[in-house]
């Protein structure tokens, strides 16, 4: 049975629309407690990750300042990892390009000390020279994903997606390859699942955290305030498929609430989630998912 | 002959391209500054509500939200305006024999300044230039080479033509079109080397400003296009017909891949279609496949297969059928369909005597279609 935590809070944003630091920290603390059963950070992190390994936090910054993984959300997660036993030098927050990171308000850091923050297009990083060929995928991996890190967290934004249906934890890894534009046919199916099934991701991915503080439930992946809901939540799971399945249900709930047709009715049901289940990557069956919802 | 030996042979015979002005980006895999990409507004797109756009350049009709790129990876929606990121951003610049394109009935024994940008609107599993075609422009090195400079470079290198080639020129349509206009103004011809996965309107516009087109017909069934090209066959066939009815010179290349598109029945079907829709005089090149990119599990095409398919095409009534990627094969030559004499003798990119005068065979006077001077 897969476990998925949906942890929410009210008023996650301050009056200046900044993420409230205390509230996001509390979401992580309570979320990991519910996921692992351990109240303290050391034991809960130990249950999920190996603190000696270089760990990547793959964020999604394609949406600019309005709809990217916010710095406070990723840095708060990094702080929780450090509190749980990680050294800050072993944590890397990353995405495709430094420009996108800067546009989403990140301050880059490639120094040996401190939490590292940089994109694949940084000098000396880049994409692998060789192709990874697996099922429908033929791509060069970011050397961050394939080489630098040993374990990986997908810290994705939850969005409606005009082609994929939704974008969440698994599709976030499209940002780890050089040619994601080639994988948007047929609602990104089976490409999202096939990419996740590559060794570089499947064997390193340990945790999905979906940033659902603001959810773009329609007309995504671009930001449209009219269809963006202040949801104030995080979705956390070690099962990448179950996490995305629950993220999908959140989007459907919001669409229904706002009188919009379902994704299926719009012919863009995210079938890649089912494909991922068929590949044995996790569960997309609600009967096999233990959903724990809590509001703090 | 193995690929390595072929390359050695080519070099020894002086058959390699005359001059490489910018190496292939695969040798230089590095990042370009993203801010150095172009921001010229794209043509052939429709603005939709909510800052979305729909691209009408190719049959994919990519519908994109703000900040998204099309399948080609080189056209981006920024706030509801669609931009080409590769206008004037050449990632490959070479001086090539025109026969390398291959164009065998177009200004033989001349060179073409050959340029490309990053990007492609399909994803052929057997692509020979995937290092530039299947990447985003910021992922490779490019140089600033605006249309005027392309034409000047062609002039300086005594190239009577400019070839838009290597990757897929459809995706750098605006750059190609404007360069072609400038080239035409300055007396230089333009040739397009394309998979022709393009919509009729832009293609017809393009044909107004170019002189020759080589179209890669990758198979004659949709299943192959779905599985191995990730595109559609019918738009390619439509483009072939459109080109054949225009003033431009047209040649077709068919890459023969063992077990995937090499049956006699498929070739029969294709040749009959060509003869009926276009006529018997269009040059058809059967080209040898070499394992590469995502298709390394198949061997190079047996020469006997190529010869068999060529014979099939000749039996079906096509007059000019060639075999490519096998230097010194007798089917590189052009034979007069009337008297059977060799009228253009080729060994790789070495061109011997051309026995064509005023567009006619010097031996029997038969008219030989082409763009000879």
**What DSSP string runs through B221-276?**
SHHHIIIIISS-SHHHHHHHHHHHTSSSEEEEEEEE-TTTS--HHHHHHHHHHHHH
pLDDT by 10s per residue, chain B, length 373: 334 433 333 333 333 444 555 544 333 334 556 668 999 999 999 999 999 999 999 999 999 999 999 999 999 999 999 999 999 999 999 999 999 999 999 999 999 999 999 999 999 999 999 999 999 999 999 999 999 999 999 999 999 999 999 999 999 999 999 999 999 999 999 999 999 999 999 999 999 999 999 999 999 999 999 999 999 999 999 999 999 999 999 999 999 999 999 999 999 999 999 999 999 999 999 999 999 999 999 999 999 999 999 999 999 999 999 999 999 999 999 999 999 999 999 999 999 999 999 999 999 999 999 999 8
Mean pLDDT of A144-154: 97
**Main-chain dihedrals φ then ψ at residue B6, nearest 5 degrees:** -60, -45
A&B contacts, CB < 8 Å:
65
Is A224–B52 a contact, with Cβ atoms under 8 angstroms apart?
no
The overall pTM is greater than 0.90? yes
pLDDT at residue number B110: 97
- d(Cα B260, Cα B263) in Å, to the nearest integer? 8
Integer distance in angstroms from the first to the last C-alpha of chain A? 25
Indicate the pLDDT class of residue A16, thresholds 50, 70 and 90: confident
Min distance B309 CA to chain A CA atoms (Å): 31
- d(Cα A216, Cα A64) in Å, to the nearest integer? 13
Please check whether residue A178 is in contact with residue A168, taking contact to mean a CB–CB distance below 8 angstroms: no
Question: Residue B187: is it exposed, middle or buried by C-beta count within 10 angstroms (0-12/13-18/19+)?
Answer: exposed
Min distance A97 CA to chain B CA atoms (Å): 9
pLDDT at residue A5 tops 50: yes
Please check whether residue B131 is in contact with residue A127, taking contact to mean a CB–CB distance below 8 angstroms: no
pLDDT at residue A289 tops 90: yes
Q: Is A295 on the interface with B (CB under 8 A)?
A: no
Q: Is A165 on the interface with B (CB under 8 A)?
A: no
Is A179–B31 a contact, with Cβ atoms under 8 angstroms apart?
no
Give the dihedral sign, CA A159/A164/A169/A174. Answer: negative
Min distance A182 CA to chain B CA atoms (Å): 6
Please check whether residue B211 is in contact with residue B160, taking contact to mean a CB–CB distance below 8 angstroms: no
Of all residues in chain B, the one with the smallest CA distance to A121 is: B31
Average pLDDT, chain A: 97
Going from the C-alpha of B232 to that of each of A134, B218, B250, B272, B295, the distances in angstroms are 24, 10, 20, 20, 20
pLDDT at residue number A182: 96
Using alpha carbons, select from B317, B321, B249 the residue that is nearest to residue B285.
B321
Chain B hits for A184, CB-CB cut-off 8 Å, are 71
Nearest to B31 among A126, A221, A224 (CB): A126
- Best interface-test mutation with B: which of A222, A225, A228 has the largest number of B CBs within 10 A? A222
pLDDT at residue number B32: 57
Is A181–B50 a contact, with Cβ atoms under 8 angstroms apart?
no
Please check whether residue A144 is in contact with residue A127, taking contact to mean a CB–CB distance below 8 angstroms: no
Cα A83 to chain centroid distance, Å, stands at 21
């Amino acid at each position: 049975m897969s476990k998925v935590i949906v942890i929410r809070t009210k008023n996650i944003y301050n009056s200046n629309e900044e993420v409230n630091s205390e509230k996001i920290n509390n979401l992580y603390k309570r979320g990991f407690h519910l996921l692992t059963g351990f109240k303290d950070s050391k034991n809960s992190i130990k249950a999920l990750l190996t603190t000696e390994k270089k760990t990547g936090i793959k964020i999604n910054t394609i949406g600019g300042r309005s709809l990217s993984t916010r710095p406070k959300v990723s840095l708060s997660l990094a702080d929780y990892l450090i509190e749980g036993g990680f050294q800050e030098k072993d944590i890397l927050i990353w995405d495709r390009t430094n420009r996108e990171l800067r546009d989403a308000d990140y301050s880059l850091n490639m120094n040996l000390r401190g939490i590292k923050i940089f994109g694949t297009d940084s000098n000396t990083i880049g994409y692998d020279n060789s192709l990874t060929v697996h099922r429908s995928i033929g791509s060069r991996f970011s050397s961050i994903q394939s080489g630098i890190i040993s374990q990986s967290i997908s810290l994705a934004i939850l969005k409606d997606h005009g082609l994929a249906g939704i974008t969440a934890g698994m599709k976030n890894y499209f940002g780890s390859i050089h040619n994601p534009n080639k994988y948007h046919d047929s609602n990104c199916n089976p490409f999202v699942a096939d990419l996740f099934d590559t060794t570089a991701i499947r064997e390193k991915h340990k945790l999905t955290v979906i940033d659902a503080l603001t959810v773009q439930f329609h007309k995504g992946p671009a930001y449209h305030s009219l269809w963006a809901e202040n949801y104030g939540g995080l979705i956390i799971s070690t099962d990448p498929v179950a996490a995305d399945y629950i993220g999908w249900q959140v989007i459907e709930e919001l669409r229904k609430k706002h009188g919009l047709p379902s994704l299926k009715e719009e012919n863009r049901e995210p079938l890649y989630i089912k494909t991922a289940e068929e590949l044995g990557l996790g569960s997309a069956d609600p009967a096999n998912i233990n959903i724990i919802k809590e509001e703090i | 002959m193995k690929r390595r030996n072929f390359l050695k042979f080519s070099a020894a015979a002086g058959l390699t391209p005359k001059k490489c002005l910018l190496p292939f980006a695969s040798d230089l895999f590095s990042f370009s500054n993203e801010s150095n990409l172009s921001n010229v507004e794209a043509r052939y797109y429709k603005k939709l509500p909510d800052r979305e756009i729909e691209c009408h350049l190719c049959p994919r009709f990519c519908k994109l939200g703000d900040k998204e790129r099309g399948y080609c990876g080189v056209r981006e929606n920024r706030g509801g305006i669609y931009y080409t990121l590769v206008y004037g951003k050449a990632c490959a610049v070479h001086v090539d024999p025109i026969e390398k394109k291959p164009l065998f009935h177009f200004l033989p024994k001349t060179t073409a300044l050959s340029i490309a940008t990053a990007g492609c609107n399909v994803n052929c599993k057997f692509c020979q230039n995937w290092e530039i075609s299947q990447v985003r422009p910021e992922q490779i090195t490019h140089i600033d080479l605006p249309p005027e400079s392309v034409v000047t470079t062609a002039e300086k290198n005594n190239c009577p033509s400019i070839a838009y080639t290597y990757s897929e020129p459809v995706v750098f349509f605006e750059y190609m079109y404007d360069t072609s206009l400038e080239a035409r103004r300055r007396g230089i011809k333009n040739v397009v080397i394309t998979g022709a996965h393009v919509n009729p309107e832009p293609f017809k516009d393009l044909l107004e400003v170019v002189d020759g087109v080589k179209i890669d017909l990758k198979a004659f069934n949709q299943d192959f296009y779905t599985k191995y090209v990730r595109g559609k066959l019918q738009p390619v066939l439509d483009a072939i017909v459109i080109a054949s009815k225009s003033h431009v010179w047209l040649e077709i290349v068919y890459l023969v891949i063992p077990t995937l598109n090499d049956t006699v029945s498929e070739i029969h079907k294709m040749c009959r279609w060509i003869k009926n829709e276009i006529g018997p005089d269009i040059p058809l090149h059967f080209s040898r496949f070499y394992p590469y990119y995502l298709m390394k599990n198949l061997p190079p095409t047996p020469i006997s297969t190529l010869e068999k398919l060529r014979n099939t095409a000749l039996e079906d009534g096509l007059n000019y059928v060639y075999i490519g990627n096998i230097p010194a094969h007798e089917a590189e030559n052009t034979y007069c369909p009337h008297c059977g004499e060799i009228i253009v003798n080729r060994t790789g990119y070495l061109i011997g005597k051309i026995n064509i005068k005023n567009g006619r065979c010097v031996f029997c006077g038969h008219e030989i279609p082409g763009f000879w001077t």
